[in-house]
């Protein structure tokens, strides 16, 4: 079984997908981590400007960078030139750049090939999450979920995740960053962020973590029994 979870930044996809995969004994695939590994390479090579934008002239080179994965604890961790980059891909600079490099189809093709190979090779099911899992990468997914949450709540979670104090000023700034990234991710030409027609919507604004996970696990179990 393939469970495809899509949605905007900070809607709770990664933590939820990880836990859903754990409960079902599936492999968790975080596609964003792969885009982030390409973005980290661009930042390290000095190909990204202050806003994280990468000029089209560097994209062919970037698409040849050695980005791979290692299966660890029921999920995958991104490798850049053979090394784990777990924390380095979570900086604000890399986050902005990931959104920019993911607009290029050469980079998307590289990421999609890795995801499809892993899903085909893994003997159990997979829970994959990102922006185009149910629409482009795994249109055949048995269960499609679209997770959303109000921007203010998403910003609050992001600040807490990074261990930053939640102040009104920070909430406004983080919320603006999230909305700007969503706008960029949903307006690009290549595989824009959008809900798959058959996806079930899970609005996590007022749901507890347990409620989010349970809704998806139960939907998967109902399908399995059908």
By CB atoms closer than 10 A (0-12, 13-18, 19+), residue 178 is: buried
* Least Cβ distance, residue 9 to ligand DC (angstroms): 5
By CB under 6 A, the residues from 174 to 203 that bind ligand DC are 181, 185
* Near ligand DC in 120-149, by CB under 6 A: 130-132
Q: Sign (positive/negative) of CA torsion 153, 184, 21, 28?
A: negative
What stretches of 65-136 show up as alpha helix (H) in DSSP? 92-101, 105-121
Which residue number, 102 or 175, has a Cβ lying nearer to ligand DC?
A: 102
Binding pattern to ligand DC, positions 15-54, x when CB under 6 A?
----------------xx--xx------------------
What is the closest distance, in whole angstroms, from the C-beta atom of residue 53 to ligand DC in the complex? 13
Task: Rule CB under 6 A: say whether 11 interacts with ligand DC.
Answer: no
Q: How far is the CB of 221 from ligand DC (least distance, A)?
A: 25
Q: How far is the CB of 8 from ligand DC (least distance, A)?
A: 9
By C-alpha distance, which of 128, 107, 135 is closest to 36? 107
What does 130-178 look like in DSSP terms, one character per residue?
ESSIIIII-TT-SEEEEEE--HHHHHHHHHHHTT----HHHHHHHHHHH
Residue number with CB closer to ligand DC (144 or 181): 181
Q: Is 102 in the site for ligand DC (CB under 6 A)?
A: yes
Expressed in percent and rounded to 5, the helix, strand and coil fractions of the chain are: 50, 20, 30
**Residues in contact with ligand DC by the rule CB under 6 A:** 9, 31-32, 35-36, 98-99, 102, 130-132, 181, 185
């Amino acid at each position: 079984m393939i469970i495809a979870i899509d949605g905007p930044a900070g809607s709770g996809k990664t933590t939820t997908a990880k836990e859903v995969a754990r409960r079902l004994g599936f492999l968790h695939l975080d596609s964003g981590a792969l885009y982030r590994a390409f973005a980290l390479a661009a930042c390290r090579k000095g190909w990204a400007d202050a806003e994280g934008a990468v000029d089209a002239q560097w994209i062919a080179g970037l698409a040849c960078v050695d980005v791979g994965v290692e299966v660890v604890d029921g999920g995958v961790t991104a490798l850049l030139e053979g090394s784990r980059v777990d924390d380095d891909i979570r900086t604000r600079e890399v986050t902005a750049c990931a959104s920019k490099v993911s607009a290029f189809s050469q980079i998307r093709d590289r990421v999609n090939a890795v995801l499809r190979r892993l899903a085909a090779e893994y003997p159990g099911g997979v829970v994959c999450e990102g922006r185009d899992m149910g629409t482009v990468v795994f249109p055949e997914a048995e269960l499609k979920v679209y997770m959303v949450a109000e921007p203010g709540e998403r910003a609050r979670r992001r600040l807490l995740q990074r261990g930053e104090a939640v102040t009104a000023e920070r909430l406004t700034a983080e919320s603006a960053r999230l909305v700007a990234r969503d706008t960029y991710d949903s307006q690009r030409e290549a595989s824009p962020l959008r809900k798959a027609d058959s996806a079930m919507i899970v609005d996590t604004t007022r749901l507890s973590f347990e409620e989010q996970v349970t809704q998806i696990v139960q939907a998967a179990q109902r399908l399995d029994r059908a």
